[in-house]
A and B are shown apart, each in its own frame.
Chain A
Amino acid sequence: MADSQTIQKLERLAADCRVDILTMLEQAKSGHPGGSLSVIDILVALYFHEMKQDPQRPDWEDRDRCVLSKGHGVPAMYAVLANQGSIPKSELATLRQINSRLQGHPDRVAFPWAEASTGSLGQGLSIAQGLALGFKLAGKSSRAFCVLGDGETQEGQIWEAALSAPKFKLNNLICFTDNNNGQIDGHVDEVMDLKPLAEKWRAFRWAVHEINGHDFGEILGALDKARQEKEKPTMIIARTVKGKGVSFMENNIGWHGVAPSAEQTQKAVAEIRGGKR
């Protein structure tokens, strides 16, 4: 179990990242706040606690990899990278601007910290599977992490990968579903209901854990269990809140793909800074 000091540290980092996400989206005047705020705690747990990586060496051969399949959540990844010193914080202001490495959706060619170019939904799990297979084949201990949006689970390719990963016994493949129940056209359970989601993954022979995706104790607990898996790939279904941390954004589908104004950003940052964290 993670100690309270570790959890408090991660909560502080997540709050810093939330502020950076809102600030960069406000500066870019476009982007996806809802899904960036729902996924940020998962990414903070991965980058600051779980993954074997070197913030200064994106090309370190033995690193773990994180494929952000829900590419529209990339502001969260940029915020994490800035907070761990991989990129200067000042660069966040270039998000979505011409000639920037910080594309609206991740571009692994321009930006070496992006392990995969994503944004066309449904593709990331197959790539993470290929990474995990490559590590196994080479006898490496590296692991492949993947973060899916729940909406993108409607894509058929996800289920092709769901079927194949257990066949290859990829216990080094750990996937999160950012289960915020929101997508562009509405609530996931109205647009194309995924329930029962955990049962689906279990039926596909994955080790499945259902957690609160904003509770670091639960996130780290599930990751600990994933480490113990001998054969199965792990799916961690993280119940999250779209827009988490900002009262006027929480669970409001309208904040899927709209940037906050300067005034709204100020209000949101005050809430995050003044919050219980």
Chain B
Amino acid sequence: MSAKATRDSFGETLVTLGKEDPRIVVLDADLSVSTKSVLFAKAYPERFFQMGIAEANMVGTAAGLAFTGYVPFLCSFGAFVAGRYETIRVSVGYSDANVKIVGTHAGLGIGDDGYTQMGLEDVNVLRGLPGMSILQPCDHLSTVAAVRYAAKHKGAVYLRLTRQKLPAVYESESQFVFGKGTVLKEGKDLALFASGATVAEALKAADHVGGQPWVVDFHTLKPIDRDLIVRVARNSKHIVTVEDHNVVGGLGTAVAEVLAEEGFGGKLLRLGLQDKYGESGDPGALYDKYGISAAKIAEQIRAKFR
């Protein structure tokens, strides 16, 4: 399997699901070409709703569709859709609407377009809503599995996807189990936890830090896999989280909460944006600058723990 953007895997899977399940409907706010919901729009135009550049209305309309028994996927950039927090909070969250919120263009990985287009606080915002499940797959197969899972899950889901291509990590869709982290490398003494685009970076970094590090993919950011964090923590001196997101409120925070509650003698290093806004640039250069490329992850681990 060659490298593929998770938004592409999403768009293709949605078309397959649309064929299997007539309840699936899709809404987009003038970004269907970018979110890849355009594939569904072409295949099932009667079940696709072009809402124009008006995300809040899209969120509420999706909730209403869900109340009539449809399973709506609403699509935009993560930054824009999470920005309609208050509508999501009441019309979806509190209302227990079976709506699937798809936020593409996660993080620094989009590169040139710069900060305003980057979802960098989206997980932080939506994680605070009771009942909101958050998924961030890291490659093609796990995205196919995540989209399929989201469609059958009863309740609101936020699915965070990338613009950029990501290398294959999974060998089969069945490795993805909702709510369970996936151990990609069984290790000891040090653990790398990643999600989405940073999984491949963490895997590469693991080869350059010596010893035998764990690498775990947390494709389900909420609910976080508490049992797995505890198990890995018992077998590691230190834990490093890596995310293309602000370290406030994302993977690093979720892991810190569990470690603090369960007790952990080691140190936690949270890599990601250190409470900063993003900027334009080449995605690789941005990953280096903000310390989440494989090379920079390894460098920081060596400096702190080796």
Contact = CB atoms under 8 A, between A and B. Distances in A.
Given A123-B60, A157-B57, A116 B65 contact: no
Interface in B245-280: none
A130 B95 contact: no
A127 B61 CA distance: 5
Contact of A109 (B54, B57, B62, B96): B96
B90 A126 contact: no
A1 interface: no
Interface string B13-52: 0000000000001000000000000000000001101011
A109 B65 contact: no
Nearest to A128: B64
A177 interface: no
A157 B87 contact: yes
B69 interface: yes
Chain A contact residues: helix, strand, loop or mixed: helix
A127 B91 contact: yes
A217 B61 CA distance: 32
B193 interface: no
Interface residues of B, number: 31
A127 B70 CA distance: 13
Contact of B64 (A117, A133, A138): A133
Contacts of A164: 51-52, 54, 57, 61
Contacts of B86: 120
B251 to A, nearest CB: 29
Contacts of B61: 126-127, 129-130, 133, 161, 164
A120 B94 CA distance: 11
Nearest to A117: B95
Contacts of A109: 94-96
Given A133-B61, A137-B46, A157-B57, A127 B52 contact: no
Given A108-B96, A116-B63, A126-B61, 4 more contacts: A107-B94, A125-B60, A134-B69, A137-B47
